[in-house]
Copies of this chain bind each other. A is one copy, B any other.
Amino acid sequence: MPSSPHQGDTSPRQRRKESRPQELLDAALALFAEKGYTATRAEEVARRAGVSKGTLYLYYPSKEELFKAVVRQNLGSLIAEGEELAGQFEGSTSELLAELLLTWWQRIGNTPAAGIHKIVLAEVRNFPELAQFYTDEVIVPADRLFSGAVQRGVDRGEFRPMPPHQVAHALMAPLIFMALHRHSFGACPVHGGVEVDAALMLRTHLDLVLRGLEVRVEHRQ
């Protein structure tokens, strides 16, 4: 292999520096999701990322900035993929909604990043600016995406006319709630709890709601 000995300007140390922020964000996400913002100690985040306390502050000037960075990173363009999907979808709206929910679950709900939603829910009142950010970046686009899809179904005569925002909420709530649950009770060892079979849950929910949306020919007799 004719490669120069200098080919990599990413020495181990360099590479390390570049990946530090990500390692810290990952550690912080996990701990914030587990314990909440206030109960998570900065040193713990550092240790989980494999560095010392001081190193954390080399990359983030304060615990609060670290928190915001975690939120920002995990909320970036969550919805973009869904909007693209919806924009070019050709099939029936039921299939579209099924696709959107399944995708959301696989890409977000069933992922460590889902923890971000629990944190935001719990902490947003302590970080007022976060409320606006989350509203702009998550709530509004998500509502637009899902209520838009519902409206498409109504417009195409596939669905009964129903208030699209409320339907969107009914569509998303069980998934979000399941995601919250994973980072809450789902992570606690309890006896006799209600097991949540996510796959069955998803199928059932879709079956239920899509059926509820369908226009149907009145059955006679």
Residues of chain A having any CB pair with chain B under 8 Å? 34-39, 118, 120-126, 128, 131-132, 134-136, 139-140, 143, 162-163, 165-167, 169-170, 173-174, 176-178, 180, 183-185, 187-194, 196-197, 200-201, 204-205, 207-213, 216-221
CB atoms of A208 and B212 under 8 A apart: yes
Q: Which residues of B contact A204 (CB under 8 A)?
A: 162-163, 166-167, 170
Known pairs A131-B188, A140-B194, A166-B200 / 9 extra A-B pairs, C-beta < 8 Å: A128-B189, A135-B190, A169-B201, A170-B204, A170-B208, A173-B173, A177-B177, A208-B212, A217-B219
Report how far A167 CA is from B192 CA in the complex, Å.
19
Q: How far is the CB of A121 from chain B (nearest CB, A)?
A: 5
CB atoms of B192 and A140 under 8 A apart: yes
Q: Quick one: which of B35, B118, B205, B216 contacts A170, CB cutoff 8 A?
A: B205
With both beta carbons as reference points, the residue of chain B lying nearest to A212 in the complex is identified as: B212
With a 10 A CB-CB cut-off, give which of A120, A123, A174, A176 has the most chain B CB atoms.
Answer: A174
Interface CB pairs A-B, < 8 A, 30: A34-B125, A35-B126, A36-B38, A38-B39, A39-B126, A121-B121, A121-B180, A121-B184, A124-B184, A124-B188, A125-B187, A125-B188, A128-B189, A131-B189, A132-B190, A134-B185, A135-B185, A135-B191, A135-B194, A162-B208, A163-B200, A163-B204, A166-B204, A166-B205, A169-B178, A170-B174, A173-B178, A177-B177, A207-B212, A211-B212
CB atoms of B38 and A185 under 8 A apart: no
With both beta carbons as reference points, the residue of chain B lying nearest to A147 in the complex is identified as: B194
Q: Which residues of B contact A134 (CB under 8 A)?
A: 185
Q: How far is the CB of A208 from chain B (nearest CB, A)?
A: 4
Q: How far is the CB of A153 from chain B (nearest CB, A)?
A: 12
With both beta carbons as reference points, the residue of chain B lying nearest to A180 in the complex is identified as: B121
Q: How far is the CB of A15 from chain B (nearest CB, A)?
A: 21
Report how far A180 CA is from B173 CA in the complex, Å.
11
Q: How far is the CB of A175 from chain B (nearest CB, A)?
A: 8
CB atoms of B173 and A128 under 8 A apart: no
With both beta carbons as reference points, the residue of chain B lying nearest to A181 in the complex is identified as: B121
Given A39-B38, A207-B212, A212-B211: A122 and B125 interface contact (C-beta under 8 Å): no
